[in-house]
Structure 1
Amino acid sequence: MAGDPAAVNVPAPPTETTHGVLRSALVRWDTALLVVLAAVVVVAGVLVEGFASGRNFQFLLLDVVAIALIALPLTLIVITGEIDLSVASTLGLCSAVMGQLWVAGLPLELVVVLVVGLGAVLGAVNAVFVTKFALPSLAVTIGTLAAYRGLAFVVLGDQAVADFPFRWTDAASSTVADGAVPWAAVVTIVLAVVFGVVLHATPFGRSLYAMGNNAEAATFAGIRVARAKFWLFVASGAVSGLAGVYWTLRFASARADNAAGLELAVVAAVLLGGVSIFGGRGTLLGVLLGVLLLGAVRNALQLADVAADTLNIVTGGLLIASVVVPNVVAMSRTRLRRRPRHPA
């Protein structure tokens, strides 16, 4: 009725719930990473000569492409509570095999397909040990980290293959419309969208979080945990093989020691992006921001002529911080929630 006060629509003032949602958005790890990344870019742009140039932006993106590629499937693996430390060695072995296949006279188009397939097979080896024999992925992939790198030296020794066609090596570093954004970064963004949709917008992606929180409960809920993990390790190997192709063409050199130690940077980026090392938590957007933050810090230090050993120390420090800080924040929130509230 027209005279009924209840029928009159009066805009409600902001409630505590609205403010709570706003505060939650402001303290999210992704938001914090974005703020820190912006601060690093601004400070480095002011203090480090050449950092703010378009040419350096291009090199920064080219440097993080391999890390970002490998981090995509690794994010999903870590969310399930597993890990793959063999990714850089998979890249190195695929690079070595790529060099040998090219020397043997195979067309490069076929070589690329075979190398990505090899990466998938190497990932499947990890998957069999983890899912069929129920071995811890940490131990398995530490073993294959050493084994795959050793096989790379068996395949290629300490020599390098560098006579790849110029149109291929140039394509690995070419940019969109002769600007500062490399085509390799565009491809990485497309793959990131695919992985992001799978993780955040499909039942399969939601099941990965369930596995990370409680694999046994996920199994009782009807989730095929072993099969899901198997294909995640296969995807990790295949994408590492693709990263091996990119690395080889970008530097125009197939070597057995390509990307040695890169697994540290990849794991650091994933954990810095807010993915819990214990599984069950994290976003792909956070990981991409972590990749960019790590890349920006390392790029700025390189331009400032900081030694390579110091760069490794910084990477290790960020890795430790990415594990410690979220736990400290979580403990602080728990204590605040448990603190008794006294009426004013």
Structure 2
Amino acid sequence: MTGKVRALGTWDVVVLVALVLVVVIGASTIDGVASPRFWRFVTLEVIPIAIIALPMTLVVITGEIDLSVASVLGLTCAVMGDLWARGVTSLPLLVVLCLLLGAVAGAVNGLFVTVFGLPSLAVTIGTLALYRGLAYVALGDRAISDYPSSWTDSAVSAIPGLTIPWFILVVAALAVLFGVILHATPIGRGLYAMGNNAEAARFAGVAVARTKFWLFVATGTMASLAGVFWTFRFASARADNGNGLELAVVAAVLLGGVSIFGGRGGMIGVIGAVVLLSTLRNALQLAYVPANTLTIVTGSLLIASVVGPNVVGMARERLRRRRPA
């Protein structure tokens, strides 16, 4: 019984309960929340955020962060549009080139952090501006939107018999992959060790620098995959695609229970937080809440995600001390 009580006290469960409450309250008070069309839009919003949040979870658990992900997404869209305009019409080739671009962008971040020892916050703020600037160099103010309808339709086509886009299955497969890596492999245990004490992890045989480097490569690659989906979802490649998306990704990761200081967090809470934030935003939009208010809500939840787990931890510690020996 005690184990069950402890399980119910985890932050993951808090997030999932909050998600259920938002769905129930939204469905009972806002017209359209219970409709299949609403959940289609929620899923479409979830897909790019979740794709980037998965590797970001691993990065933050090690005590690092990558704020350049939205700019990598935008750069991917711009380069994809430019290549298409120049006559590269093979979809597999475009996708491979875009994923390689994201891997290189992530590798640049990783090199600055692991080889030169620079703080990831400062590095990725710099590359946030750099990659967005390169996106404008590649595409300027143009919008490339003459992609074949077979490409754009296939990206958002629904699972047969449902309204949910099939691409969510790709996200689910990636979630399982990253979840297994984090929770069921020595690599995952090493990530938590790095987040708690990188020096101790290094002495224990964990390849700290190499692991962090490849995490940044993974984050850049997944951001590019999100950029490919973004381009086809909106049937348009623009240099400003995904502008500000890093806020939603970081908010989801922290709200999901991952400590900004590293060493704590899990994949279930992050996935729950991604769905929670997307559901909340779409429900408030149906209620005609202004866009500025939505930004305030996201920012407030970001603060709550940092403060909340610490408050829960303090409460647990006080309850533990009050228990009789």
The answer, yes or no, to whether TM exceeds 0.5 is yes
The C-alpha deviation readout for 1:255-281, integer Å capped at 9, x for no partner, is 000010000000000001000111111
CA contact (8 A) 1:73 1:235 kept: yes
Residues of 1 paired with 2:276 and 2:250: CA distance?
13
Say whether 1:277 aligns with 2:252.
no
Shift of residue 340 of structure 1? 7.3
Residues of 2 paired with 1:235 and 1:243: CA distance?
12
Amino acid at match of 2:180: V
RMSD of aligned Cα (Å):
1.1
Say whether 1:78 aligns with 2:60.
yes
Bigger CA radius of gyration: 1
Shift of residue 59 of structure 1? 1.1
Amino acid at match of 1:185: I
Other-structure match for 1:89: 71
Which deviates the most, 46-55 or 124-133?
46-55
Amino acid at match of 1:87: V
Residues of 2 paired with 1:20 and 1:146: CA distance?
50
* Percent of paired sites with the same residue: 65
Residue 148 (structure 1) aligned to one of 127, 131, 134: 131
Say whether 1:332 aligns with 2:310.
no
Residues of 2 paired with 1:194 and 1:333: CA distance?
32
Other-structure match for 2:33: 51
Once the two structures are superposed, the pairs formed by residues 62-77 of structure 1 within 5 Å of their partners are: 62-77=44-59
Which deviates the most, 108-117 or 86-95?
108-117
Residues of 2 paired with 1:173 and 1:89: CA distance?
23
Residues of 1 paired with 2:201 and 2:66: CA distance?
21
Residues of 1 paired with 2:323 and 2:237: CA distance?
63
Query: Residue 340 and residue 239 in structure 1: after superposition, are their counterparts in 2 closer, same or farther (change >3 A)?
Result: closer
Shift of residue 108 of structure 1? 2.3
Residue 111 (structure 1) aligned to one of 62, 83, 94: 94
Say whether 1:208 aligns with 2:191.
yes
Other-structure match for 1:255: 238
- The DSSP-based 3-state class of the residue aligned with 2:101 is helix
Other-structure match for 2:23: 41
- The DSSP-based 3-state class of the residue aligned with 1:208 is helix
Which ranges in structure 1 are unaligned for 5 or more consecutive residues?
A: 1-18
Other-structure match for 1:15: none
- The DSSP-based 3-state class of the residue aligned with 1:245 is helix
Report how many aligned residue pairs link the two structures. Answer: 324
The C-alpha deviation readout for 1:150-171, integer Å capped at 9, x for no partner, is 1111111111000011011001
Amino acid at match of 2:298: T
Other-structure match for 1:13: none
Residue 30 (structure 1) aligned to one of 12, 16, 21: 12
The C-alpha deviation readout for 1:57-81, integer Å capped at 9, x for no partner, is 1111011100000000000000000
Residues of 2 paired with 1:172 and 1:303: CA distance?
25
Residues of 2 paired with 1:111 and 1:340: CA distance?
61
The C-alpha deviation readout for 1:103-134, integer Å capped at 9, x for no partner, is 11112221111011100000000000000000
Q: TM-score, normalised by structure 2?
A: 0.98
Residues of 1 paired with 2:277 and 2:117: CA distance?
33
Say whether 1:21 aligns with 2:3.
yes
Q: TM-score, normalised by structure 1?
A: 0.92
Relative contact order higher in (CA < 8 Å, ≥ 6 apart): 2
Residues of 2 paired with 1:113 and 1:340: CA distance?
58
Other-structure match for 2:249: 266
Residues of 1 paired with 2:323 and 2:137: CA distance?
65
Residues of 2 paired with 1:240 and 1:33: CA distance?
24
Shift of residue 331 of structure 1? 1.5
Say whether 1:234 aligns with 2:221.
no
Other-structure match for 2:273: 290
Residues of 1 paired with 2:221 and 2:21: CA distance?
35
Other-structure match for 2:295: 312
Residues of 2 paired with 1:21 and 1:149: CA distance?
48
- The DSSP-based 3-state class of the residue aligned with 1:176 is coil
CA contact (8 A) 1:77 1:83 kept: yes
Other-structure match for 1:243: 226
Once the two structures are superposed, the pairs formed by residues 149-228 of structure 1 within 5 Å of their partners are: 149-228=132-211
Shift of residue 221 of structure 1? 0.4
The C-alpha deviation readout for 1:274-317, integer Å capped at 9, x for no partner, is 00111111111110000000011001011111111111111101
CA contact (8 A) 1:123 1:237 kept: yes
CA contact (8 A) 1:102 1:108 kept: no
